[in-house]
Structure 1
Amino acid sequence: MYKNILQNIDNIAVWPVISFVIFFLFFLCLLWWVFTADRNVIDKLKNLPMEEGEKNSLSNAKPE
């Protein structure tokens, strides 16, 4: 049933191509960002979850 509906849509073959091009461009942009990103920014992002955990554990600690 769905196969017949999709076959009746004009220019249906162009949508998978558009989707692939969008994905490929996004992937290339991401690769470019990874190879050109500043190492300090990567280190800061890498340590971010640990810093958040330290802040939360210190704020939850009860003073003696």
Structure 2
Amino acid sequence: MLKFIKGNLESIDGVAIYPIISLLIFFIFFTVLFWWVFTAKKEHIKEVSNIPLELIPDKEINDKNDLPL
């Protein structure tokens, strides 16, 4: 199976640049992500990590309970 793919790709001029571009995009993305993780403010990380745990205010709960069925 790989022989068919490799044979078709060898006939294309300049095809060797695509793996290099893919590797550069991968490397740059994870380098920027790594940099952001270590420079992010701790308060922001705590705030974002608590979003799923925040309670719904009582007014919204009461409004939902008052809806007719």
For structure 2, which runs of at least 5 residues remain unmatched after alignment?
none
Matched positions, count: 61
The residue that corresponds to 2:31 in the other structure is 28
C-alpha distance after superposition, 1:8-53 (max 9, x if no partner) = 11111110111010110010100110000000000011101112xx
Partner of 1:59: 60
Given the two structures, how large is their TM-score scaled by the length of structure 1?
A: 0.76
Structure 2 counterparts to residues 1-64 of structure 1, below 5 A: 1-51=4-54, 54-55=55-56, 59-60=60-61, 62=65
Higher helix share: 1
**Unaligned ranges ≥5, structure 1:** none
Root mean square deviation of aligned Cα: 2.3
Greater C-alpha Rg: 2
| % identity of equivalent residues | 39
**TM-score (normalised: structure 2):** 0.72
Which runs of 4 or more aligned residues in structure 1 lie more than 6 Å from their structure 2 counterparts after TM superposition?
Answer: none
Mapped to 1, the partners of 2:19 and 2:38 lie a distance apart of 29
